[in-house]
Each structure stands twice: as structure tokens, then as C-alpha cells.
Amino acid sequence: MSDKEIHDVVMIGAGPAALTAAIYTTREDIDTVLYEKGVIGGLAAVTDWVDNYPGFPKGISGLDLAQGLNEQAERFGADIRLGEVFKIEEEGKLKKLTTSDGEVYAKSVLIATGSDYKKIGVPGEQEFYGRGVHYCATCDGAFYRDKRLVVVGGGNSAVQEAIFLTRFATHIDLLVRGDKMRASDILQQELKSHTDKITVRMNTTTDEIVGNDEGKVTAVKGTDKVTGKPVEFATDGVFVFVGLSPNTEFLKETDIELDEIGMVVTDSSLETSMKGVFAAGDVRSGATMQIASATGEGATAALMIRKYLEDVEKHVMTPPVPAVADVTA
């Protein structure tokens, strides 16, 4: 056992939920390691502006919020590693995690892998990924200064990111599959103030992303659902915002219960079906997909992990009472 790398808790992911949990655990001297395979701060870090996080009356950039959480967790001693966890297994009273660093053991685990951008699954999407097809306006929008763009989606993210992209693009066609927007009323009102640059195309599907021989996107082909006729929009790039899917592929072959869309099922203490393994944030079944609720769940998970570790330690330290032999004849 001495040659194994063992920690009190390993957190998978380093978004708002995990970073908040790490602030709580490390302040109580709970040995804490976080693994993040993407961007520290998760999707919050690549969100242009956060207007609804408590304590920031003028709003705060997603990157600044993520950096603040990161620095605070590290100040208390969190060990944040860039790497990936591929598998979780029970091994006695420990959890064995197969990671990009090798095998790591933990007394408890927090799954906080969040969610990723959904794909629309049309021809050209995969072929032009990163070369004209994008899922993060703050990451890639600046490449399209004085260019035309297509944004796909009708929810909050699509509208918010389309508005952000007006900083760079000369014109944006916003393709909405349905006959009504799913974005909040506030965002829809804000959208109306950008009609000089954004044209909303209701009842319009996205059927194909096409490009030229140089490997550059040139247009999006779709269908007008009202007339049934094909439509085409000239563009230099496509930004897709059609929702999120949970990052739980690595859990598919474990005993950890997932719901019908692949999110992690927990009880009221945020513990999963595998004892000692907890989940918080956008990966958890029933999550509200808000940064504020993710940080709240992270704090709750940390307190539940502390209680779990205390109960385990108490059980280890207290020897079992020997059974009294039945000597009656």
C-alpha cells in the first residue's frame, strides 16, 4: 500500500463546482487533488460575461471569475493537475482512478466534469471543426473581424454569443430551428437592439456546412420549414450553440448510476450509487446549469465529503465489538 499514491479526495474536473469544493476541503486540511483535461474554470472560463453571479453588481467576465476561483483554491493548497481520468473502480475501501498520470487512489471522489457543447451532427461539422466551425465565441470570435457569420441555436447561449460576436462580424445570420426563441425575455429584448448586424431566421434548419478546396467554410445550407424550400447563407464561419451534454463517457462502464441523458444520479447528500463518490455541478442529474448553483453544490459536496471521511475514519479507529459466544446447551 505504501507505494500507492493515495489522497483524501480526488476531484474530476476543475470548474466552479470542483474549485469551490476544493476551497472548502483544503481549508480543513483535507488532501485534495483535481484533474482537469480542458480549461481550468470549465465553461465559465470561456463565457464572455457573467451578469447573474451574486456579489458582482456590474457583472464579471467568465475568465476573471474562473481565475479567482482557481487562485483561491490553490492558496489553500489544492493540487490542480492538467490531465484526464479514464476510469473509477472500487478497490477495498479506496477508489482506484486510472488517469493520464497512471493509477491514483482516493478515499473519496467528486465527479464535477460538467457538460460540453452539443453537436448538430450535419455534414461538414466535423470536417471543418476548428477551421470554420466553433462552439466558443469568446475563444474564436476575434478570428472573424469584418467577416460574415452564422450562429445556430435559439436559446440563451446562442443569443448571448451572437450579440458578443457583433463586436467582430459585419453580419450574423441566427438560424433558429423552431417557430419561437427559447432565450429569456431579457436577452430577446437585447437582441432587438442589434438588428443592424443580426438577422434572425426562424423555422430554419441547418442541414450542411460547406467549404471550398482550401478547407475554408463558405456557406451553410438549410431548409425553410414553412415553405419547404432549401436556403443557403454565405458565411466565413459557423458558431453552434444548441445546448450541452454531460461529460460522463468515462463512467459508462462503471457501477455509477446515470440518468436517461447520461447525467450522474445522486441522493440528497450528492452521493452517487458508488459509496464515497459524489457529484456536483452541471454533470449531476437535476442540475440547473447555473454557475451560482454549481458553486453552491460544490460547497455542499465538500461538507458531505468531510462527513464521509470522518465516518470512515471513525469506523477504522473503532474496533468491532467481539461477538459473545452462545454457550447454552
Question: Average pLDDT by consecutive 10-residue portion of the chain (329 residues)?
Answer: 86 98 98 96 87 93 95 97 97 96 97 93 94 89 96 95 96 97 96 97 98 95 98 98 93 94 96 98 93 97 98 69 50
CA neighbours within 13 Å on the CB side: how many for 109? 27
Residue 255: active-site member = no
Of 136, 173, 236, 282, catalytic: 136
Neighbours of 210 (CB within 10 A): 17
CB 99 within 8 A of CB 89: no
110 and 89 in a common domain: yes
139 with 182, same domain? yes
Residues 172 and 99 in one domain: no
Domain extent for 110: 6-116+244-312
CATH number of the domain encompassing residue 179: 3.50.50.60
Vertex 152 angle, CA 295 and 36, to 5°:
35
Give the per-residue pLDDT at 3.
80
Question: Active site residue: 29, 51, 139, 259, which one?
Answer: 139
Q: How many CB atoms lie within 10 A of CB 195?
A: 9
297 within some domain:
yes
- Whether 125 maps to a domain, the answer reads no
**Same domain for 28 and 11:** yes
Task: Say what the pLDDT of residue 65 is.
Answer: 96
Per-residue H/E/C for 222-268: EEECCCCCEEEEECCEEEECCCEEECCHHHCCCCCCECCCCCECCCC
Of 140, 173, 236, 282, the active-site residue reads 140
Query: Could you tell me the pTM of the whole model?
Result: 0.76
Q: Which amino acid, 279? A: A
**Residues 189, 48 within the same domain:** no
In-domain check, residue 121: no
At 276 the pLDDT is 97
pLDDT of residue 1: 46
Q: Is 267 annotated as catalytic?
A: no
Catalytic status, residue 136: yes
Residue 325 lies in a domain: no
Helices 16-27 and 291-317: angle between axes, nearest 10 degrees: 40
pLDDT value, residue 316? 61
